[in-house]
Each structure stands twice: as C-alpha cells, then as structure tokens.
C-alpha cells in the first residue's frame, strides 16, 4: 500500500490486540504514526470506574515507544484532548489536532472498528480495518479494565506487565527466616525474587560487623533498588523482595553507629503493596556472617526495627511460628492481596 498511515487509541492499557494491529499496520505503509490520545479527566475516570490505579499518559507513551523502538518506520506521538468521556470526544477537533501533529498528508488510517468509518474526519485517507472480530487476539482494553489485568495477563505485553506487578517485601532482623520465606514464596507463585543485597556485599567482603564500613550502606540501598528494577522486568504478577531501605538504615546504625539521610529518602520513595514483618522466634543459625544470636539482643533489635517501621507509618503484617506456619500465613496475605486487586476490577478468582 505505502504512504503515510496512523493508528490511534488511548492504550489504557496497551495489550496484545494493540500490538497485533500496530505491527500489521506497520507492514502496510511506508511511515506509521501511532497516536496516543489522552485526556486527564476522561482517563482518570475510566481507571477509577474500573478500580485500577491511574495510568498516566507518560507511562503509556513509554510503553508504546519501547514497543516500537526497533520498528524503523514507526513513530509515536501524544495528542491531548479535553473530553471528559468517550461520548464527548470531539472527532473533528481531534482529527485537526492529529493532522497538525503528524504534519503530513495521511494516506491510511488503521483501526479495528468499522463503526469508526462514518465518524473519522479524514476524507482523503483510506480506512483499513484490522481484526474487527478480534479472532487473532480476543481482547479489548475495556475488557481488561472491567475484568482485571490479572485475568488477562497473557494479553499484557512484556513492556507493560511490570507496571501491574504487586511487590511484597519481607523484613526482619538477623536470622529470622526472611531469605527462606522470600525464596519459597517465589517458587509457589511461579515468579522471581530479590535477594538481600546487603548480604551479597557481606559475602564479598567477608563479614558485616567490623569489615562493613559506613560508606557501604548507601551503596547497598542503591544496589538493592537496581536489583528490584531488574527483577520487576521478569516478574509474573508478583515480586518478592528480601529487605529494603529501612532495614538497611537499621543495619547501618547497628554496625557503624551512623544513619544516612539518603537512606530515609530512598525509603520514602519506595512503594510496596504488602509488608511481611518476621518475628525472631525461629532458631538463630550461625552462618559465619551473623553475630547477634543472644536472645535478649535479638529481641532488642527486633523491637528497634519495629519502632523504625512504626515511626515511618508502615503498615505491616507480623508473621511468627515455625517455617511452615510462616509460609502459610504469608500465603494467606498474598492471596488476599491478589483477591482484593481482582475484586476492585469486578471479578472473582475462578
């Protein structure tokens, strides 16, 4: 066919049906513009009605840009409109804005809806309909919003999935079962996990209490966040994380007597969907790196960390008992997190 084409949408969220249409359209023209139409009022309403967290247009623009970065004839544009609903969208004004933004004669318009034909304001362009029956990819953004992202996870592109992953962090003091629980939960929920980066550093330098000096702790916090980011790209609905910045601050004070404002700043910026706080009621294990095994010291450190969490307004769930009881308790709270997320979108778990 050749020429200049465009395909538009809200991409709220971007799904595999969109991906199919974009790739099909890219094969049919010399230059394809993917136009993200966004309205703060309308898009906010759609997310609120569906019970999902808002998806800023910048996030959707990033999804699209990442998706097409290796498609040489495809460009992504964002065009804002003032509609407060789909019904109030001004097609004539929207077409004028899109034409102005593209700045070239439009030869082809791609969509999956023949109903758009009489309302499109591009008389000079041919309307090409792609997979109207959705036989290739049986999904729509409306369906995903109404039924839940997790119910259609297989239709969510890899570039989009990290935005919707729920993050579960496991915290506690020395030898309270954090690492074991984190690994086991990841296995049960078929996903990935983030190891405690501070422990990795301890293993590299050969100890924690005397060798790990103050300058290491900001590095630990930064390194841990990078590990989280990397794991998030691979996670399957859930990401389990062993330790975070508040615990790093706790260990910094414990080992060096110093605290770092930067660690508090990292803690303020981090966001987790579920906090699991471990009681120190399992046997202390000497693995060559741990040094605070006395019962009174363990309890003191535990209460100190609890106080740090409380001072920062963290809502957490306390787990206690043997390893099986901790695992079962954690699973109940994780399942509730998934259930609550699904119920907000109006679906069950069946």
**Sign of the C-alpha dihedral, residues 50, 54, 55, 56?**
positive
> If 0-12 CB within 10 Å is exposed, 13-18 middle and 19+ buried, where does residue 263 land?
buried
Q: How far are the Cα atoms of 201, 246, 269, 308 from residue 264, in angstroms, in the given order?
A: 20, 7, 9, 11
**Greatest extent of the chain over all pairs of C-alpha atoms, in Å:** 81
Calpha distance 300→173 (Å, rounded): 10
Residue 112 annotated as lining a ligand binding site: yes
DSSP 253-320: HHHHS---HHHHHHHHH---SEEEEE-S-SPP---SS----SHHHHHHHHHHHHHHHHHTT---EEE-
Q: Does residue 171 contact residue 314 with C-beta atoms inside 8 Å?
A: no
Residue 175 annotated as lining a ligand binding site? no
312 marked among binding-site residues? no
Distance separating alpha carbons of residues 290 and 292, to the nearest angstrom: 6
179 is in an annotated binding site: no
CA dist., res. 234 & res. 229, Å (int): 9
Q: What whole-number distance in Å separates Cα of residue 127 and Cα of residue 104?
A: 17
Written as one string, the DSSP assignment of 19-49 is HHHHHHHHTTSSEEEEEEEE-HHHHHHHHHH
**What's the distance, Cα to Cα, between the start and end of the chain in Å?**
45
The answer to whether the annotation marks 155 as part of a ligand binding site is no
- Residues in the annotated binding site: 15, 42, 111-113
- Residues in the annotated binding site for NAD(+): 15, 42, 111-113
């Amino acid at each position: 066919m050749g020429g200049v084409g465009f395909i538009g949408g809200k991409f709220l969220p971007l799904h595999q049906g969109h991906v199919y249409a974009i790739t099909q359209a890219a094969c049919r023209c010399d230059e394809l513009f993917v136009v993200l139409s966004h309205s703060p009022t309308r898009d906010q309403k759609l997310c609120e009605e569906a019970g999902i967290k808002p998806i800023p247009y910048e996030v959707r623009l990033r999804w699209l840009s990442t998706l097409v970065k290796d498609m040489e004839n495809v460009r992504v544009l964002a065009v804002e409109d003032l509609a407060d609903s789909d019904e109030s969208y001004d097609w004539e004004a929207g077409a004028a804005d899109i034409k102005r933004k593209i700045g070239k004669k439009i030869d082809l318009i791609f969509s999956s809806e023949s109903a758009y034909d009489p309302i499109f304001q591009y008389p000079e362009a041919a309307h090409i309909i792609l997979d109207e029956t959705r036989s290739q990819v049986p999904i729509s953004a409306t369906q995903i919003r109404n039924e839940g992202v997790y119910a259609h996870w297989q239709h969510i592109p890899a570039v989009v999935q990290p935005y919707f992953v729920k993050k579960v962090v496991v915290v506690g003091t020395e030898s309270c079962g954090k690492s074991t629980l984190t690994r086991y939960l990841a296995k049960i929920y078929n996903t990935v996990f983030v190891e405690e980066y501070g422990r990795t550093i301890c293993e590299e330098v050969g100890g924690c209490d005397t060798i790990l000096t103050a300058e290491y702790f900001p590095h630990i916090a930064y390194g841990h966040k990078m590990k989280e980011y990397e794991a998030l790209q691979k996670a399957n609905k859930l990401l389990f994380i062993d330790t975070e910045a508040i615990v790093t601050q706790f260990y910094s004070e414990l080992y060096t007597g110093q605290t770092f404002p930067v660690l508090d700043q990292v803690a303020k910026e981090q966001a987790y969907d579920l906090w699991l706080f471990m009681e120190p009621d399992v046997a202390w294990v000497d693995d060559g790196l741990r040094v605070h095994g006395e019962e009174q010291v363990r309890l003191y450190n535990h209460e100190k960390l609890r106080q740090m969490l409380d001072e920062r307004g963290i809502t957490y769930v306390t787990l206690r008992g043997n390893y099986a009881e901790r695992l079962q308790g954690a699973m109940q709270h994780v399942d509730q997190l998934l259930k609550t997320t699904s119920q907000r979108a109006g679906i069950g778990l069946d």
